[in-house]
Amino acid sequence: MYLRHFSLREAPFSITPDPAFFFPHDGAQAALNTLLVALRSGEGFLKIVGEVGCGKTVLCRQLLKTLQSECVTAYIPNPDMGPDDLLLALALELNVELTAPHSRYQMLGALRDCLLLHAEAGRRVVVCIDEAQAIPLRTVESLRLLSNLETEKQKLLQLVMLGQPELDERLARPEIRQLLQRITFSEYLGPMAARSVPAYLQHRLATAALDELTDVKLFDAAAARALSRYSGGVPRLVNVLAHKSLMLVYGENGRRVKVRHVRMAAADTPGVQVPPSWWQRLRARWARQDADKALARDTSRDTAWQDTQPLHDFEAGQPGGRL
């Protein structure tokens, strides 16, 4: 590995969602702020929708890390389970003691008692459900029942769902409209802006640095711009391309990532759309302009031909007329 070569303590571009590497670019910080304000205001049901690889899980873990000193938190990473299994998973996360057999009525009662104890002690309970687009429709009813747990003054349980855009499609189904109406705040998490990518690269290198002498400017400006273009600003793709680029530089015993390293990494990465070069874009622009001019000439020629044709009386029954 290249860790010693670049004076790094750990891999800077791992795709594991480690909150230590959380980077507050505009979209991520806006989503985190929305969640924190809404949860601290006592809102009961929140939703974050984001594209694949845009950092939903690391955002979730950063949220839990921020709230750990002020809330009781639970995390369900994979909700693709039946209604009773979801209740059981939540009970285990909250350390609720259950006696077999585990009926739905018993689990809801035990959860309610646990939540009431936390509420009496002044502790809020926040549950984050990751990959929420995978929740089966039959399990959504359990979420609705959980959202009903409340006192006259407050919600006993605050739920945060994070998922891909398919989550919105699922929530729009008529049979679960009751759940959709309970969502009070929603935020979209998209790719990073191109201007954020150089700072993102330096942030991750600084977090993984061995000491203050580690060079965190391994990517020159042109290479960072190329990374932004090839990745589309998607953090997971940025990490994959950056990691491969560092491996290429290490193989050459170099110290700086250049554009050619990024291009080679992109060519080796499935799912990366190679953007056209400036020359290809210019030729495509000229081709469009030529096509527009040709269409304009054809339209003008047709109009001129129509203007030269004699007018005929096509009304039936008139002298000299034609049927």
Domains and CATH numbers, the chain: 1-19+193-279 (1.10.8.60), 26-189 (3.40.50.300)
**Position of tokens 């020359």?**
279
pLDDT computed for residue 79 by the predictor:
92
Low-confidence ranges of the chain (pLDDT < 70): 274-281, 298, 301-323
d(CA 106, CA 167): 29
- Residue 209: DSSP 8-state: B
The two three-digit tokens of residue 144, written as one number: 């609705």
> pLDDT tens for residues 153-207?
888 999 999 999 999 998 888 888 888 888 889 999 999 999 999 999 999 999 9
Output the DSSP codes for 111-176.
HHHHHHHHHHTT-EEEEEESSGGG--HHHHHHHHHHHT-B-SSSBS-EEEEEE-THHHHHHTSGGG
pLDDT computed for residue 277 by the predictor:
62
Alpha helices in 194-234 (DSSP H): 197-207, 221-231
pLDDT computed for residue 97 by the predictor:
86
Check if the beta carbon of residue 198 is closer than 8 Å to that of residue 23: no
d(CA 134, CA 249): 40
pLDDT computed for residue 314 by the predictor:
45
273 phi, psi to nearest 5 deg:
-90, 115
pLDDT computed for residue 15 by the predictor:
93
d(CA 132, CA 78): 8
CB atoms within 10 A of CB 146: 22
d(CA 230, CA 8): 25
d(CA 61, CA 160): 12
Task: Tell if the pTM clears 0.75, that is, is over it.
Answer: yes
Q: What is the CA radius of gyration of the chain?
A: 29
Question: What are the Cα distances from residue 258, in Å, to 114, 249, 280, 288, 313?
Answer: 56, 9, 22, 33, 75
pLDDT computed for residue 303 by the predictor:
66
pLDDT computed for residue 322 by the predictor:
46
pLDDT computed for residue 210 by the predictor:
92
* Cα distance between the two ends of the chain: 87
Q: Would you put residue 253 in left (φ > 0), alpha (ψ -120 to 50) or beta?
A: left
The two three-digit tokens of residue 30, written as one number: 């806006």
Name the CA dihedral angle for 302, 304, 310, 316, rounded to a multiple of 10 degrees: 40
The two three-digit tokens of residue 59, written as one number: 């955002």
Residue 261 one-letter amino acid: H
